[in-house]
Structure 1
Amino acid sequence: MSLFDLLLNLMLGVALGTVGGLFGIGGGLIAIPVLGVMFGLDQQLAQGTALVMVVPNVMLAIWRYHQRNRIDLRHALLLGVTSFLCAWLASLYAVGLDARTMRLAFVCFLLALAAYNLLRMLMQQALPTGELRYPWGWFGALGGVAGGMGGLFGVGGAVVATPVLTSVFGTTQVVAQGLSLSLALPSTAVTLFTYSMHQHVNWWLGVPLAVGGLLSISWGVRLAHSLPERLLRSLFCGFLLVCALLLALEL
């Protein structure tokens, strides 16, 4: 890898880390289509390489969110344990799938997620409060579903958990993003391990992205706490549509 390529990857990591901190997703969701479009990686290799950046970014983002809005350890542990188990099983299944089929499934996943977020914005909802609408034990089920999606698509499950936490459980957007990161850490770690064992990781590309992301993710977290709730959700929805479009162009 040349010095120019190294600097380019570092700058790309900076941009992806900022987006990851803003939306509480570790940057992987945007990194996957970027790696597929710009670097021509197949779906599994793009997902595995993106996870090299996502895991340390998620660790730092959790700390930053916890500093600004303390994460309930009981909730985070339940989400983390169930997401870990389901992500491991889903990642074992994902590494054996056809790359084109995986990419098509990922595009459909993003479109469904964007449609769900758009529907939530258009519907009148109760204002978020500090009290959960349902018992915290239901976080176990949420962690399992989100972890399974994360293990399958290499995105940590935060993009699934965040809208559910706000719309179903009634948390604020920043609280949901903090809890989703707690869910994402164990699921992304075990998914990265599984993809690595099956040679679906480009470490030379992933490590510079990770370093760049660590340098910038705190900016995204700070920006997330300064934006109005509705604007943050609108940006998240638009972000999902852009990602889906980029990947669809590669089908």
Structure 2
Amino acid sequence: MTLFSLSQLASWLLLGAGIGWFGGLFGIGGGVIAIPLMVIAFGMDQAMAQGTALVLMVPNLVIGWWRYQQRHAVNWVPAAIIAVSATVTTGLIAAWATRLDASVLGRLFAGFLGLMALYMLWQTRGSKPLPPEQPLRRRWVSLLGVAGGSSMGLFGIGGGLLAAPVLSGWLGQRQTVAQSLALALVAPSSAMALFTYAEAQRVDWQLGIPLAIGGMFTVSAGVALAHRLPERTMRIIFALMLLSTALWLGLVRH
């Protein structure tokens, strides 16, 4: 291995560490950062960027879920329902997404981020108190799993971006519990998405593996910080991060 390749490997490990930290902080696996970065900085087409980001996301999401469960264990019944419904849906949608035109998939991805950014900003407006925690209904959990799995299959991300605000806003769950259930959705479904994208030759393993290794060392630190921040602060930071990413991707694409 040459000096240049060692330097390149080190930069990829550091990049993965940064993405892993943010992924642990927000419970999203880092894909919302990694995919635009791969499109913009590495010149990948949208499907390849999504598949490669999944290499980073899968271990980060598993570690993040484990750490959240240690602090805020959730009932295994809704966790299992949301995991199974999301994983099955992800496999079906990902098989279709890998055959889409890259430019069409890219426009859909940018639009999805923009809509999620607007929703998160709307949700964090004003100073209303957070809703009290409520019991989860299995019907809504399964439907949320299908919706999140569709997003994971199509974009390689979004299950957590969709599930966490719905769980915390509409279904009355605390933010940390919502993120734990969101991770129960995205951890197995991301593995299914990675398998499907890999089968379609839409994964750059040479880049994805160093990013994944770097992220595994920092995701726990991000999770630990998440539990020291006020819940409303978490929501505001999450919304601003999502909006910045959507604007960055939109401006560079156009």
Shorter-chain TM-score: which interval? over 0.9
Superposition misfits of 4+ residues, deviation over 6 angstroms: none
How far did 1:106 drift? Answer: 0.6
8 A contact 1:156–1:188 mirrored in 2:
no
| 1:206-245 equivalence runs, <5 A | 206-245=208-247
Alpha-carbon RMSD: 1.4
What amino acid does structure 2 have at the position aligned with 1:64?
R
For each residue in 1:20-62, what CA deviation from the matched residue of structure 2 results, as whole angstroms up to 9, or x when unmatched?
0011011111110111111111100000000001001111001
Does the C-alpha gap of structure 1 residues 58 and 75 become closer, same or farther in structure 2, counting only changes over 3 Å? same
* Aligned counterparts of 2:128 and 2:97: Cα–Cα separation in 1: 36
Q: TM-score, normalised by structure 1?
A: 0.96
Q: TM-score, normalised by structure 2?
A: 0.95
8 A contact 2:117–2:246 mirrored in 1:
no
**Counterpart for residue 38 of structure 2:** 35
What amino acid does structure 1 have at the position aligned with 2:243?
L
**Counterpart for residue 146 of structure 1:** 148
**Counterpart for residue 66 of structure 1:** 69
How far did 1:123 drift? Answer: 5.4
For each residue in 1:178-199, what CA deviation from the matched residue of structure 2 results, as whole angstroms up to 9, or x when unmatched?
1100100121111101100111
* Aligned counterparts of 2:169 and 2:129: Cα–Cα separation in 1: 9
From 30, 54, 68, give the equivalent of 2:57. 54
* Aligned counterparts of 2:210 and 2:56: Cα–Cα separation in 1: 8
* Aligned counterparts of 1:61 and 1:156: Cα–Cα separation in 2: 16
| 1:116-127 equivalence runs, <5 A | 116-122=119-125, 125=128, 127=130
How far did 1:247 drift? Answer: 1.8
Unaligned runs of 5+ in 2: none
* Aligned counterparts of 1:123 and 1:86: Cα–Cα separation in 2: 35
**Counterpart for residue 116 of structure 2:** 113
Which 10-residue stretch deviates more, 7-16 or 150-159? 150-159
For each residue in 1:163-215, what CA deviation from the matched residue of structure 2 results, as whole angstroms up to 9, or x when unmatched?
10011111111111111001001211111011001110000000000001100
For each residue in 1:192-247, what CA deviation from the matched residue of structure 2 results, as whole angstroms up to 9, or x when unmatched?
01100111000000000000110000011011111111111111111111211222
